[in-house]
Amino acid sequence: MTRLRAEELELAYDERVVTERLGIEIPDGSFTIIVGPNACGKTTLLRALARLLKPRRGGVYLDGELITSQPSKEVARRLGLLPQSAIAPDGITAADLVARGRYPHQRLLRQWSRDDERAVAEAMAATGVSDLANRIVDELSGGQRQRVWLAMALAQETPIMLLDEPTTFLDIAHQVEVLDLCADLHAEQGRTLVAVLHDLNHACRYATHLVAMRDGAIVAQGEPSDTVSAELVEEVFGLPCRVIDDPETGTPLVVPNARRVRAP
């Protein structure tokens, strides 16, 4: 039994049903990456796992108990989420933003402890943003900003972290930088990470557990090298392709078929 799992999930926005009878188990200590075409329900699933979306049927279980019946602040000490929609308040410094991640550990009369100080310093060191502590978040580059947000989620010190498309709006170098950082966090700190990603090749390279979704259902899951094949990519994304070994890592690399070959 894993710490985070969902059973018989029916997720819907108003009238639009996104998933029906969906079950998933997030392996403890894994770097799980969820992939799938646009509107396949992967972000919706992540929001449900983070208790931001209440399932119509079924439930999400954290440590064996329904997540929605546990106090929200208590859940926030075990399960963190970096949403896509997070907004940096006007004029906030990086250090202040990272410190906001400590909220679930604080109380009205105990607003700032030594633990908070340590957690913020460690999170900023781990993400390499210690030097940016006093900079205004809005004035940072996209890659720096995303690392600051990651530091905030890190400062929450939860054993499980959910990341909703952490690489969107970043250029290729910053994408790799952020994913390397996530892989480090997973390997060195033993956290369970669950990320939604667009790029299938990134997912294959970094995931220890890959979940492929289509039309609100899980089509395949497992270790990327056991899971990803040309047939699966065709089935999930409708993309004819070849799958070869990544020359760097030996993980699957998806190469889309060319419709037209340009003369060399």
Binding residue (CB under 8 A) for another protein from 9, 40, 88, 132: 88
Regarding 142 and contact with another protein (CB under 8 A), the answer is no
Regarding 101 and contact with another protein (CB under 8 A), the answer is yes
Regarding 109 and contact with another protein (CB under 8 A), the answer is yes
Cα–Cα distance list, 101 to 82, 95, 154 (Å)? 10, 10, 8
- Please list the residues that pair with 194 across neighbouring strands: 32, 162
61 and 7 Cβ atoms separated by less than 8 Å: yes
Q: Which stretch binds another protein (CB under 8 A): 3-11, 21-29, 93-101, 217-225?
A: 93-101
CB burial string 73-88: b at 16+ within 10 A, e below = eebbebbbbbbeeeeb
Cα gap 158→147, rounded to integer Å: 17
Helix (H) or strand (E) holding 80: strand 79-82
Cα gap 206→154, rounded to integer Å: 19
Binding residue (CB under 8 A) for another protein from 4, 34, 76, 150: 76
Nearer to another protein, 136 or 230 (CB): 136
Phi, psi of 233, rounded to the nearest 5 degrees:
-65, -40
Return the biggest CA–CA distance within the chain. 71
Regarding 72 and contact with another protein (CB under 8 A), the answer is yes
Q: Which stretch binds another protein (CB under 8 A): 67-75, 167-175, 184-192, 254-262?
A: 67-75
Binding residue (CB under 8 A) for another protein from 8, 74, 180, 245: 74
Q: Which stretch binds another protein (CB under 8 A): 110-118, 171-179, 187-195, 196-204?
A: 110-118
| Token pair 């899951």: residue | 221
Regarding 117 and contact with another protein (CB under 8 A), the answer is yes
Name the residues that contact another protein, by CB under 8 A.
47, 50-52, 71-77, 80-93, 95-96, 99-101, 103-104, 106, 108-113, 117, 156
